[in-house]
Amino acid sequence: MTDPLTGRNALLKGSCFCGSVTYVIFAPPVLSAYCHCTNCQRLNACPCVHTIHFEESDFEWTHNEPHSELLDFYNNPLKPYKRRIRCKRCGVGVTSHNSNTRRVSVWAAGLERDSEGTILNWDVAKPTAHIFYGTHVLAANDELGKWEGYEGKSNRLG
């Protein structure tokens, strides 16, 4: 998909489970990591989530229906600058928006895949680290660095 205003080509595409909510991303991520923070654990009901952060200018919704028909919002009272966005139809969390950093986060599980289930353009999306690993509930035995907070901005744990 090409952005008609800028002529940029999409690097990644994604959607909710039912496919009602869709989006494209036009630039490489600012961050791609497995997040083990307690907010991600509780908001996603899983031990960690592969979060991918982009500048909001590199993210675009592509569904045809009005947002009010498709999107539901949750503002975290502990971090009011973070808004979680999910599909009203299937309930899947699609993105998160941080108004302080002006970034959008998507989760790798929602990215477009080929017929064998492999995420398209994996080299663009693949994680580089485990972040907030100090609160992990599932050990990760891989070669990626484990960080107390954000990669390169906190203490390395492993």
Burial class, 61, CB count within 10 angstroms (exposed 0-12 / middle 13-18 / buried 19+):
middle
Average of per-residue pLDDT across 112-129? 96
pLDDT tens per residue, range 26-71: 999 999 999 999 999 998 899 999 999 999 999 999 999 988 999 9
Q: What confidence score (pLDDT) does residue 61 get?
A: 96
Helix, strand, coil abundance in the chain, percent, nearest 5: 15, 35, 50
Distance of alpha carbon 8 from its chain centroid, rounded? 21
8 Å CB contact between 56 and 103 = yes
**Can you read off the two tokens belonging to residue 143?**
């070669």
Q: What confidence score (pLDDT) does residue 7 get?
A: 75
The pTM is what?
0.92
SS3 104: strand
Burial class, 24, CB count within 10 angstroms (exposed 0-12 / middle 13-18 / buried 19+):
buried
> pLDDT averaged over the chain?
94
Report the alpha-carbon distance of residue 33 to residue 30 in Å, rounded. Answer: 10
Q: What confidence score (pLDDT) does residue 4 get?
A: 62
Average of per-residue pLDDT across 101-107? 97
pLDDT tier at 158, thresholds 50, 70, 90: confident
